[in-house]
Each structure stands twice: as structure tokens, then as C-alpha cells.
Amino acid sequence: MLEMRGRGSLKQRLLVLALATVLLVWIAAAAFTYFDAREEFGEILDAHLAQSAALIVVQAHDFDEVEAEHTPLLNRYAHRVAFQVWTGGRVLRLHSANAPEEPLSDVRSGFSDKIINGQRWRVFSTWDDSGENLIHVAELTKERDELSGAIAGNLLKPLLFSLPLLAILLWLSVTRSLRPLVRLTSEVAQREPDNLAPLEVGTAPREVAPLIARLNKLFIRIDASMQKERRFTADAAHELRTPVAGIKAQAQVARTASTDAERIRALDNAILGCDRAAHLIDQLLTLARIDTLGDETTEPCQLRAIAAEVIAAIAPAALNQNVRLELTEGAEATVRGNPLLLRIMLRNLIDNAVRHTTPGTSVLVKITQEQGRIFLSVSDNGPGIPEAELEKVAERFYRPLGTSASGSGLGLSIVKRIAEIHASSLQLAQNEDGNGLRVTVTFTS
């Protein structure tokens, strides 16, 4: 829970990212609007200076009748614009009241900037048609900047007011868009732990539908796993009850035995029961372990070398039961798989054959290749299995009726599961002579 809180919510992330993006775009747009407006307004003011100069040029024929004087400021905005008329470019003939006494510009034509008495002026200079009078028309740069800044600021006000509104609309949109996830979260949170029914897709958007589909597949796998575990636990409990009850019965017989021979026989049977229980537990642990494995860790495996290794390990126990183990000659066969699981599979196949074959006979291990497939078969000379029960013996804890050999009923189940992991098939059939059982695992190379 702490980890989930630390990561923050998806809603917060979307809002933060969306608002940050909008804010960046807004700032960029505002900056562009502000500077572009100022530039455009500066050009307008420059055009105004040029137009004012043109109006003065039109009146140039009256300059001869005017002596040097200051023209009055007739409007409250008039102080923004100043002008000078210089005869021959050297004698100040006429100027506005707000114009300085020195030339507004050193440039005789066009636009220029000049600082006079600590104030910066924007100046347009031109000659009249006679070429005798130089005219300067100027504005204080400070006032131009104030005016253009005010106008640009007014243009930005709608953007400024729109940002909070846009944030509210984004919040409402994100909240509405995430409602399917909120409903899905609430539905999953309110479920009982054993409720693995599929979730309804309903009107979920396309982005959420795949998540629901994956969850439903997960629920199916979890349900199958739980069912398998329940069956396994129930079967294991049932199978373990039998050897434990047998050991207890033999212990009671040994406790009440009247002779040493009877007591020793009971203790020997109890030890045998312990061996059977240990074998069953070992098989259960093996089966539980391979149920959790997949085909992720595979490598090229030499099947004949693995078979020889397993035969060497089982041979002493087989000889004690007067059973011979044989590996037919042939070329090495390489399959891709898990070497540990392949050893477990071969050990269970051979151990199962040794338990059920007739003493004095042999167990034959054969590895052949044909048309891109590899066949591993283990044959015994035991009583065999009726054809009607061949499909059942690979089920967990199943033991055919009348079986006298000891076992847990898990050997072939383990073999079947390992074959499934290696994408191979398992076939059980009688030997060609009608005696015993032949188990074949087919690998696709």
C-alpha cells in the first residue's frame, strides 16, 4: 500500500503532464504574441513618424514665413511626438515645444535612435522637396515601449483568464475518462478472494478492454491452479493416510508380539512402510516442483548419455530384484530440454518398469530417430496393463486393480508432466509379443 501511494495516482500524473504541457505551450504562445505584438506596434509607430514627417514636408512652403519658434502642444498626447526643422541641416528653423535644442538625429534620412539628456528617441529624418530643410520627427522610446507593452498586455489577458478554465476542463475530462478504471478497481477490490469469475467488459474503452481480458485470463489460470492444488492436496492426504496407517498397525503388532520373530517381522514391515511413505513423499515433492516449471530454461541434451547415466544409478537396485537393465545401441540423439527434468523422467520410467517386471527378466531402454522425430521407449516384461486402463494409468495416484508391486501411482504422472513441458507426447502400449508394457515418449527435433 505504501509503495502504491508513493508512486502517485494515474489521474494526478495525467493532470500534471497535461497542465505542464498546456502551460509550456501557453507560455510559448504568450511570449510569441507579446513580442510579435510589440514588433508590429513598433512598425505602426514608425509608420506614424514617417507619416507625420510627410505632413510637415507638405507644409514646407510656409517655412519662409515662420521665424524660429516653438510650436505649442495642442493635445495631451502631443508630447509623445516631437519634431525639428533645420534649414540647410544646420540652423534650427522650427521645432515643437517638447523637442530639445540639439538635433534629434545625426542621420539625414531614414530611421535612427539617439540618446539626448539621458532619454532615448526614435527618429525619422527626411528632406523637403526643395532639399533646403531637414526634418526630424521623433518619439521617446520609453513612451513607445509603455504603449506597446500595454497593448500587448491587453492581448494576453484572454490567454491568462483561459488557463484556469482550461485546467478545470482538463480535470473534468481526465476524471470522466478514468471512470472505467475506477469502476474496475472498485469491482476487483470488493471481490471475495475465491471469486475468480470473469470481469465484464461492458462499455469499457478500447484501452481498458485488453487489461480486462488479461485479468480474465489470469483468473482462469489461477482458478485452474487452485483446483489442481486442491485435488493434489486431497489426493496426497488420502495416499499418505494408507502408509501411515500401515506403519501404525505394524508398530502395534510389534508392541503386542509374543515372540521375537513376530516382533522382528512387524518391525521389518514397519520399515518397509516407512520406505514406501518416503518414496511417496519424494514423488509428491517432485511432482509439486515440476508443476511450477516451464520450458524457459532449455539447452541441447544428449538423450542417450542421460539414459546411460540413469541406468547406471538404478542398476544396483535392479540387480537386487534380479532385473537386468539394457540400453540398445544406436547413434546419439540430441533434444532441446531441461537435463534435470529429463533425468527425472527417465528415472521414473525405468524405476516403474523395474517395479512391475518379472524377476529374471530385463527392462529395455531404446532410443531411435525417424523423420525428424526422436523416440524414447522403456519396455518391461511384467503383467502389463489392460487396454481399457492404458489412458488412466498416467493420472495421479491411479493404480490398476490387482497390482502387487509397490508404488505411489505418481511415476507416470511425473513422466506425463515432463513430456508436456518438453512439448512431446506420451504413449502407452503392450509389447509386440503381448507381454509387459512399453512406454514411449516422442520428441520433435
Look up the CATH number of the domain holding residue 117: 3.30.450
How confident is the model at residue 410, as a pLDDT? 63
3 domain-assigned: no
How confident is the model at residue 292, as a pLDDT? 59
Contact between 426 and 437 under an 8 Å Cβ cutoff? The reply is: no
Question: Nine-digit cell at 49?
Answer: 513618424
| Cα–Cα distance for residue pair 339/419, rounded to 1 Å | 13
For the stretch 140-156, pLDDT in tens is: 888 877 777 777 777 77
Domains: count for the chain: 2
pLDDT at 374 over 80: yes
Confidence of residue 404 (pLDDT cuts 50, 70, 90): very low
If you ran DSSP here, which 8-state letter would residue 219 be given? Answer: H
Question: Nine-digit cell at 426?
Answer: 506420451
Range with the lowest mean pLDDT among 284-288, 358-362, 425-429, 433-437?
284-288
The pTM assigned to this predicted structure is 0.46
Range list of H helices, 61-178: 141-177
Helices vs. strands in the chain: H and E counts, helices first: 9, 13
For the stretch 147-192, pLDDT in tens is: 777 777 777 777 777 778 888 888 888 888 777 777 777 777 787 8
206 domain-assigned: no
**DSSP-assigned states of every residue in 312-343:** HHHHHHHHHTT-EEEE------EEEE-HHHHH
Which range scores top for mean pLDDT: 55-64, 110-119, 291-300, 407-416? Answer: 110-119
Domain boundary among 152, 177, 209: 152
420 domain-assigned: yes
How confident is the model at residue 134, as a pLDDT? 87
For the stretch 6-16, pLDDT in tens is: 455 777 777 78
59 domain-assigned: yes
Integer angstrom CA distances of residue 155 from 30, 294, 328, 389: 9, 67, 95, 90
Confidence of residue 240 (pLDDT cuts 50, 70, 90): low
178 domain-assigned: no
Contact between 171 and 18 under an 8 Å Cβ cutoff? The reply is: no
Domain boundary among 120, 152, 184: 152
Confidence of residue 5 (pLDDT cuts 50, 70, 90): very low
Question: Nine-digit cell at 76?
Answer: 495631451
Contact between 121 and 138 under an 8 Å Cβ cutoff? The reply is: yes
- Ramachandran bin of 254, using left for φ above 0, alpha for ψ from -120 to 50, beta for the remaining angles: alpha
Give Cα 433 to chain centroid, integer Å.
58
Q: Rounded mean pLDDT of 120-128? A: 86
351 domain-assigned: yes
Average pLDDT, the chain: 77
How confident is the model at residue 62, as a pLDDT? 61
pLDDT at 260 over 60: yes
403 domain-assigned: yes
Look up the CATH number of the domain holding residue 389: 3.30.565.10
Contact between 97 and 72 under an 8 Å Cβ cutoff? The reply is: yes
Q: Rounded mean pLDDT of 365-392? A: 78
pLDDT at 345 over 70: yes
Domain boundary among 122, 152, 182: 152
pLDDT at 222 over 60: yes
298 domain-assigned: yes
Range of the domain at 317: 293-444
Q: Considering only CA atoms, which of 248, 353, 258, 275 is closest in space to residue 310?
A: 353
Tell me the percentage of the chain whose pLDDT exceeds 70.
Answer: 80
Contact between 408 and 283 under an 8 Å Cβ cutoff? The reply is: yes
Please report, as a single letter, which amino acid is at residue 433.
D
